[in-house]
Chains A and B, each alone.
Chain A
Amino acid sequence: MVWKRRIAYINLTTGKIISKPIPKQLRQLYLGGRGINMYLLYNHLTPEVDPLSSENILLVGTGLLCGIPALGSGRCDIAAKSPVTGAIGDSNIGGFFAPELRLAGFDHLMISGKAEKPVYLLANDGNIEIHDANHLWGKDTFETQDMIRDDVKDEEVKSLVIGVAGENMVRFANVRTGMKNSAGRTGMGCVMGSKNLKAIAARGTMDIEFSHPDELLDYCKQMNDMITETRWARAQSKWGTLIIYSNTNTTGLIRTRNFQLNRLEKGEDLEPENMDRYTIGMSGCYGCSVHCRHRYVLKEGSYAPIFAEGPEYTSLGAFGTMVDCNKMETVLVANHLVNKYGLDTLETGGLIAWAMELYEKGIIDEKDTAGLKLEWGNEEILFQLITQIAHREGFGNILADGFNTAISKIGKGSEYYAIQIKGMSSLHSDERPTPSLALGICTSTRGADHLRGRPAIDLYGLPQEMLQEIYGAPVSSDYTAYEGKSRMVWWQELLYAVTDAIGTCKFQTVFCAVHAPKWTEFKNLIQLATDMKFTESELMDVGERIYTIERMFNLREGFSRKDDALPERYFKESTPTGLPIAKGKKIDRNGFEKMLDEYYVLHGWDHNGSPKKETLERLGLDKEPSHIV
Chain B
Amino acid sequence: MSHGEKLMSIRVRVLLLSNFREIVGKREIVEEVNSNLTLGHVLDQLGKKYGRDFKQLVDPKTRTVPSEFIVSINGRVVRDTKVRLNNDDILMLTIQAGGG
The residues of A that contact B15 with a CB separation of less than 8 Å are 250
Judge whether B79 is part of the interface by a CB distance below 8 angstroms: yes
- Residue pair A477, B77 in contact (C-beta under 8 Å): yes
Chain B CB within 8 A of A268 CB: yes
Determine if B9 is an interface residue (Cβ-Cβ < 8 Å): no
A474 to B100, CA, bound (A): 27
Question: What chain A residues lie within 8 Å of B18 (beta carbons)?
Answer: 235, 239, 243, 246
Q: Chain A contacts of B21 at CB under 8 A?
A: 246, 273
Residue of A whose beta carbon sits closest to that of B66: A231
Interface residues of B in 41-100 (CB under 8 A from A): 64, 67-70, 72, 74-79, 90, 92, 94-100
- Across the two chains, which residue of chain B brings its CB closest to A232? B96
Chain A CB count within 10 A is highest, among B15, B18, B64, for: B18
Do A579 and B72 touch across chains, with their CB atoms under 8 A apart? Answer: yes
Find residues 437-468 in chain A having any chain B CB closer than 8 Å to their own CB.
450-451, 454, 456-457, 459-463, 466
Interface size of A in residues (CB-CB distance below 8 Å): 47
- A162 at the binding interface (Cβ < 8 Å): no
Q: Please, how many angstroms separate the alpha-carbon atoms of A162 and B68 in the complex?
A: 40
Within the complex, the shortest CB–CB distance from B3 to chain A, in Å, comes to 31
Are A247 and B97 in contact (CB-based, < 8 A)?
Answer: yes
Q: A581: CB under 8 A from chain B?
A: yes
Given contacts A507-B99, A512-B96, contact A461 B68 (CB under 8 A): no
Which chain B residue shows the least CB distance to A454?
A: B100
* Distance to closest chain B CB from A553 (angstroms): 24
**Inter-subunit contact A466/B99 (CB<8 Å):** no
Q: Looking at A246, A454, A479, which has the most chain B CB atoms within 10 Å of its CB?
A: A246
Residues of B close to A462: CB separation below 8 A: 67, 79
Question: For the complex, what is the distance from the CA of A479 to the CA of B77, rounded to whole Å?
Answer: 9
Q: Mark A221-233, 1 if CB is under 8 A from B, else 0.
A: 0000000001110
Chain B residue contacts of A479, Cβ below 8 A: 77
A67 to chain B, nearest CB (A): 23
- For A466, the chain B residues whose CB sits under 8 A away are 67
A580 close to B (CB within 8 Å): yes
Q: Is the CB of A581 within 8 A of B19?
A: no
- When the two chains form their complex, are residues A232 and B67 in contact, meaning their CB atoms are under 8 A apart? no
A460 and B22 contacting across the interface, CB-CB below 8 Å: no
Closest to B70 in A: A460
B10 interfacial by beta-carbon distance below 8 Å: no
A493-515 CB contacts (< 8 Å) to partner B: 507, 511-515
Instruction: Confirm or deny: A314 has a beta carbon within 8 angstroms of a beta carbon on chain B.
Output: yes
Cβ-neighbour of A582 out of B75, B78, B79 (below 8 A) = B75
Q: Are B95 and A231 in contact (CB-based, < 8 A)?
A: yes
Shortest Cβ distance from B18 into A: residue: A235
Q: What string of 1s and 0s marks CB contacts (under 8 Å) between A471-486 and chain B? A: 0000001110000000
Number of chain B residues close to chain A: CB under 8 A = 28
At the interface, yes or no: A396 with Cβ under 8 Å from chain B? no
| Inter-chain contact B79/A250, CB cutoff 8 Å | no
Among the listed A232, A507, A514, A579, which residue makes an inter-chain contact with B74, where contact means beta carbons less than 8 Å apart? A579
A252 interface residue per 8 A CB criterion = yes
Q: How far is the CA of A270 from the CA of B69 in the complex (A)?
A: 22
A440 CB to nearest B CB, Å: 12
- CB closest residue in chain A, given B95: A231
Residue A427 at the B interface, CB < 8 A? yes
Complex: A101 Cα to B50 Cα, angstroms:
50
Closest to B100 in A: A450
Are B99's CB and A511's CB within 8 A? Answer: yes
In the assembled complex, the CB of B90 is this many whole angstroms from the nearest CB of chain A, namely 6
Does B100 contact A247, Cβ atoms closer than 8 Å? Answer: no
Distance A195 CA – B46 CA, assembled complex (angstroms): 61
Q: Which of B22, B67, B70, B100 contacts A313 (CB 8 A)?
A: B100
User: Does any Cβ of B come within 8 Å of A347's Cβ?
Assistant: no
Q: Is B68 a contact of A244 with CB atoms below 8 Å? A: no
Docked complex Cα distance between A314 and B98 (Å)? 12
Tell me if A251 counts as interface (CB < 8 A to partner B).
yes
Closest to B17 in A: A246
Contact status A581-B74, CB under 8 Å: yes
A232 x B97 contact (CB < 8 A): yes
Known A-B contacts A579-B74, A579-B75, A580-B74; A460 and B17 likewise in contact (beta carbons under 8 Å): no
In the assembled complex, A344 has its CB within 8 A of some CB on chain B: no
A463 in contact with B96 given A235-B18, A273-B21 (CB within 8 Å): no
- Chain B nearest CB from A464 CB (Å) reads 10
Point out the residues of chain B lying under 8 angstroms from A244, CB to CB.
97-100
Are B70 and A461 interface neighbours, CB within 8 A?
yes
**Docked complex: B14-52 residues within 8 A CB-CB of A:** 15, 17-19, 21-22, 27
Nearest Cβ on chain A to B5's Cβ, whole angstroms = 25
Q: List the B residue with the shortest CB-CB distance to A464.
A: B79
With A235-B18, A239-B18 as given contacts, are A251 and B100 in contact (CB-CB < 8 Å)?
no
Shortest CB distance B89–A (Å): 9
Q: Which residues of A contact B98 (CB under 8 A)?
A: 232, 244, 456-457, 459, 507, 511-513
Cα(A454)–Cα(B75), bound, Å:
20
Q: Is A292 in the interface zone, CB < 8 Å from B?
A: yes
Enumerate chain A residues within 8 angstroms of B90, measured Cβ to Cβ. Answer: 579-580
11 extra interchain contacts, Cβ-Cβ under 8 A, other than A230-B68, A244-B99, A246-B17? A231-B69, A232-B97, A246-B97, A247-B92, A313-B99, A456-B99, A461-B72, A579-B72, A579-B90, A581-B74, A582-B75
The 3 closest A-B pairs by CB, nearest first: A461-B77, A581-B75, A579-B75
**What are 24 A-B interface contacts by the 8 Å CB criterion?**
A231-B19, A232-B96, A236-B97, A239-B18, A241-B99, A244-B99, A250-B15, A250-B92, A251-B75, A271-B27, A273-B21, A292-B99, A312-B99, A313-B99, A450-B100, A451-B100, A456-B98, A457-B98, A459-B77, A460-B67, A477-B79, A513-B98, A578-B75, A579-B92
